[in-house]
Structure 1
Amino acid sequence: MRFSLKTMLVGAIVLTLIASNLFTSWHLFQAQQLVRVQQMEIDALRRELRSLDTSDRKNVHVIAMETNQDMVWKWRIFIPPGKKFNLKSMVGTISDRSFPEGAMVTPIEPGEGVLTCSVTRNAGGDWDQDVRYVSGAHVATSTLKVFDSSMAWYGKQGSSTTSGSITTSMGQQSFSGEHRIELLRFRRWIQDQPNVKFAPTESTDGILFWLEPVERSPFPDG
């Protein structure tokens, strides 16, 4: 009888441990499922708000944002610590692949910020190329007058389209930061017959915005 009670006691303890383990495992599973659902909700909210996942602090991250304005483009950008870029822009003769010299330059500091670029008419009716970068308390702006002749192609039916860019239809894009990052290449397309357009391989009128890494000096400061 004593042995039987001892066996029952040990059995009860074992069953209790098994039940406790199953209960803990079930709670852990429920918690993991909740975390998974919450992460999916966070990811969906991040996509909706066009926010960046900057858990990878070594690469450059870019996501396009809605502007609901014609000829205005916006991107949220993360530049990793230790890296510096210039936003370069050009309105004029743009090739289908290369990057022109003599572009307008706006410095982009490390950290996360919002870059807004536009080519619009000002209150006086003249064309302006504007760049604005806001990162915390840091604000960098650049404005350059654009000649009417450089924008004569814009607005004509079948005359233009975006031939290359990081658009709002794309999610977050990540780059090593060692090379240029093309944000927008908006070029004139040629329409030689009704409803037929083609992109010329030679240089043509257009707009180009890109990030260019700033080369570090091989010599120490001072």
Structure 2
Amino acid sequence: MPNPTHRDFRAVMNSSEPHNIEAPAPPGSPRRNRWTSFSLLTILLLLTIAALGVSHVRMSWQLDENNQAMATMQAELTQLRKETGYLEITDEKLVHVVAAPTHEDLVWRWKVFVPEGVTIKSHMQVKQSTGGSTTGTSRLQEGTNQIELAIYRGPEGQWKQKLTVVRGPSTSSSSSDLPEEFMSWLNNAMTSSSGLLNAEGTKTFQPDQEITLLTMTARGRVKPDPETGERSKQLTEESTEITAWLEPEKP
């Protein structure tokens, strides 16, 4: 009896159906392109990372440019506020003062914020070294006030000093006359000023603190005598001081 194993093998070999038997690849033949696929994925990943990096750098540059532009605009706004006398209130428990611009000679303005429960008086004094002085006083109210000091010629031709305080719709003022000879001397004098002047921005002070708004010192010009050519000593000794200050009112 034939061996069933050999019979089955012969049946298989004699069958008409084709059989695909994959032969092993020879040593030098190319393999499946697995490394090529891996390289493409790597390139795509690197391109994505590079694009994200470029986008991040570009956004960082734009952010820096925007920050620089904002800083420039903020500096310009701060300077503009100083030049226009903008009163910036940062702490309502403190007194705030800023000098406001004027376009007239011998006229000064300030904006003052007075905290709640605080009473402050404003003073203006013209004092001559040869003797005599005039003083004006007004009271400031709680909130924002505007103070104006002015030396001007009145409607009748006389010189006056005037202190005006404006608080909303209400206005209070005090004035006094100045001698003609004093103003004639002052107009030919050399002056120097200190205090809270224009373009300095808002300053803060404690409610019980005395605040100097203006100190203007005027001294006569030294002129040579037309006959001897010597300089006059009398003019250098004469001086005038215009002072404005805020003083807390004691209870």
Q: TM exceeds 0.5?
A: yes
| Correspondent of 1:8 among 43, 52, 75 | 43
Partner deviation per Cα, 1:198-222 (whole Å, 9 max, x = no partner): 467xxx754321112334x5xxxxx
Letter in 1 for 2:56: N
Confirm or deny: 8 A CA contact 2:190 2:221 kept in the other structure.
no
Once the 2 structures are TM-superposed, how far is the Cα of residue 163 of structure 1 from its aligned partner? 5.1
Aligned counterpart for 2:97 among listed residues 61, 76, 82: 61
Return 109-118 or 27-36, whichever deviates more.
109-118
Distance 1:173 1:110 in 2: 17
Q: CA deviation at 1:32?
A: 0.7
Letter in 1 for 2:191: T
Instruction: Tell me how far 1:104 sits from its aligned partner.
Output: 3.0
Q: Which amino acid aligns with 1:207?
A: I
Which one-letter code corresponds to 1:29 in the other structure? D
Q: CA deviation at 1:155?
A: 1.8
Q: What is the rounded CA distance, in whole Å, between the counterparts of 1:62 and 1:129 in structure 2?
A: 22
The structure 2 residue matched to 1:42, chosen from 77, 80, 94, is 77
Provide the rounded CA distance (Å) in 2 between the counterparts of 1:163 and 1:198.
Answer: 18
Amino acid at match of 2:205: S
Verify the 8 A CA contact 2:122 2:140 in the aligned structure 1.
yes
Relative distance call for 1:59 and 1:24 in structure 2 (3 A) is: farther
**TM-superposed deviation, 1:28:** 0.7
C-alpha deviations, 1:60-85, integer Å up to 9, x for none? 232252232x332223x242634543
Partner of 2:107: 72
Indicate which of 120, 129, 133 corresponds to 2:161: 129
Structure 1-normalised TM-score? 0.68
CA contact (8 A) 1:153 1:188 kept: no
Task: Give, in angstroms, the shift of residue 112 of structure 1.
Answer: 4.3
CA spacing shift, 1:145–1:80, aligned 2, 3 Å: closer
State which of 147, 156, 172 in structure 2 corresponds to 1:115.
147
Q: Which consecutive unaligned segments of at least 5 residues does structure 2 have?
A: 1-33, 225-230
Partners of 1:3 and 1:173 in 2: how far apart?
A: 68
- State how far apart, in whole Å, the 1-side matches of 2:242 and 2:184 are: 14
Higher relative contact order, chain-length normalized (CA < 8 Å, sep 6+)? 1
Residue number among 147, 165, 172 corresponding to 2:201 in the alignment: 172
Instruction: Specify the SS of the correspondent of 2:71.
Output: helix
Report the secondary structure of 1:40's partner residue. Answer: helix
Q: Tell me the amino acid that sits aligned with residue 130 of structure 1.
A: K
**Partner residue of 1:155 out of 184, 200, 221:** 184
Distance in 1 of aligned mates of 2:123 and 2:192: 18
TM-score by length of 2: 0.62
Equivalent position of 2:59 in the other structure:
24
- Once the two structures are overlaid, the 10-residue window that deviates more, 15-24 or 83-92, is 83-92
Residue 173 of structure 1 deviates from its aligned partner by 5.9
| Same amino acid, percent of matched pairs | 21
Give the Å deviation of 1:35. Answer: 0.7
Aligned residues between the structures? 201
Displacement of 1:33 after TM fit? 1.8
CA shift at 1:16, angstroms?
2.9
On the 8 A contact 1:78/1:110 being kept in 2, the answer is: no
Match of 2:215 among 182, 185, 189: 185
Does residue 211 of structure 1 match 2:246? yes
How far apart are the structure 2 equivalents of 1:84 and 1:31? 46
Matches of 1:20 and 1:80 in 2, distance apart? 53
